[in-house]
Amino acid sequence: MTLGLHLWGRRSVSPTRRSTRRSLARRGVPRAAALALLLATVTACANDVPKADWSRGLLPTSITTQGDTITNLWNGAWIAALATGVVVIVLIVWACIFHTRRRAKAELPPQVRYNLPIEIFYTLVPLVMVSVFFFFTARDTREVDAVSGKPDVQVKVEAFQWSWRFTTVVGGKTLKPVTGTPVSDYHQGPQLVLPVNKRVEFDLSSPDVIHSFWVPAFLFKRDVIPGLLENDKGRKFEITTLNKPGVYAGRCAELCGVDHSRMLFNVKLVPQAEYDQYIATQTGSAQ
Ligand SMILES: [Cu+2]
């Protein structure tokens, strides 16, 4: 029946329809080329994306204790979801193999509607699963959002169209602000130098539009919203850096205008001794 319809459909294709098909095929070629070009561009743009591997659930290496918490939450959630998926698939396959309607006996199988224990079971299991997810998410979100108020280093981050200004306060001294301009490589963007194994508090503000402060290696981003006052919720967040010296990419993660994609910066994690030297060169005339 299906085959018959199919053949009939083929035979009855009108000349106009055929030409439409041909023109569709012709249009398909530039489309595929455009798609290939787009893919190439996207891949080219992604050169500052940290290398991700499966052992960390495809996440970038975290350089903060908060990032480790996120990594664990992410991997835990995936493991729980995959385990649930395996159980569901096994049950589906089992039902397909052992509980298919046999041709010989076409009567209804035993019905389980209004079976109270089963209904309770069906309600409780998802509730327990959602509660477990909720518990871990709430616990870890609290931890990641916590601000101790006793940081070793404070960084005032001003996001503007289209770069960043970082002003560091450490040991009562205010360092020279680092101000950037739009760039196409994060290495050329403004550099925020931070010591390893230290608590760093960020205070985000914007004079123009909403931006988003994102260092992929923090596994964290926070919107920078204009108009928030000094102690308003959402302006500050805190990280504890790990002993992982290096230069890490940072970017704006909120479409904020024409040069949004060039609003790049970098975070350089250095050992304490090197950080002390850096402070010495940056205090200069400030304060
Ligand atoms: Cu921005």
Question: Model confidence over 83-114: pLDDT tens digits?
Answer: 999 999 999 999 998 887 766 666 777 777 88
Contact between 241 and 196 (Cβ < 8 Å): yes
Q: How far is the CA of 59 from the centre of ligand 1 (A)?
A: 23
Q: How far is the CA of 244 from the centre of ligand 1 (A)?
A: 27
Q: Looking at residues 31-48, what average pLDDT do you find?
A: 55
Q: How far is the CA of 165 from the centre of ligand 1 (A)?
A: 12
Q: How far is the CA of 258 from the centre of ligand 1 (A)?
A: 9
In angstroms, what CA-CA distances link 173 with 3, 102, 110, 179, 268? Answer: 81, 82, 77, 18, 19
Q: How far is the CA of 208 from the centre of ligand 1 (A)?
A: 10
Neighbours of ion ligand 1 (CB under 5 A): 211, 252, 256, 263
Q: How far is the CA of 124 from the centre of ligand 1 (A)?
A: 45
Secondary structure of residue 183 in the 3-state scheme: coil
Residue 241 has what DSSP assignment? B
In angstroms, what CA-CA distances link 201 with 121, 148, 207? Answer: 47, 9, 20
- Give the alpha-carbon dihedral of 225, 230, 231, 236, to 10 degrees: 60
Q: Across the strands, what pairs with 203?
A: 156, 236
Q: How far is the CA of 214 from the centre of ligand 1 (A)?
A: 10
Contact between 238 and 148 (Cβ < 8 Å): yes
| Type of residue found at 152 | D
- Under the banding of pLDDT at 50, 70 and 90, the label for residue 5 is very low
Q: How far is the CA of 221 from the centre of ligand 1 (A)?
A: 12
- Under the banding of pLDDT at 50, 70 and 90, the label for residue 8 is very low
Query: What pLDDT was estimated at residue 3?
Result: 38
Q: How far is the CA of 55 from the centre of ligand 1 (A)?
A: 32
Query: What pLDDT was estimated at residue 1?
Result: 35
Q: How far is the CA of 256 from the centre of ligand 1 (A)?
A: 5
Q: How far is the CA of 206 from the centre of ligand 1 (A)?
A: 9
Contact between 270 and 244 (Cβ < 8 Å): no
Rounded-to-integer distance, Cα 269 and Cα 277, Å: 13
Q: How far is the CA of 264 from the centre of ligand 1 (A)?
A: 9
Query: What pLDDT was estimated at residue 77?
Result: 93
- Under the banding of pLDDT at 50, 70 and 90, the label for residue 54 is confident
Q: Mean of the per-residue pLDDT values for the chain?
A: 84
- Determine how β-strand 199-205 pairs with β-strand 153-160: parallel
Query: What pLDDT was estimated at residue 134?
Result: 97
Q: Across the strands, what pairs with 140?
A: none
Query: What angle separates helix 65-98 from helix 116-145, to the nearest 10 degrees?
Result: 160
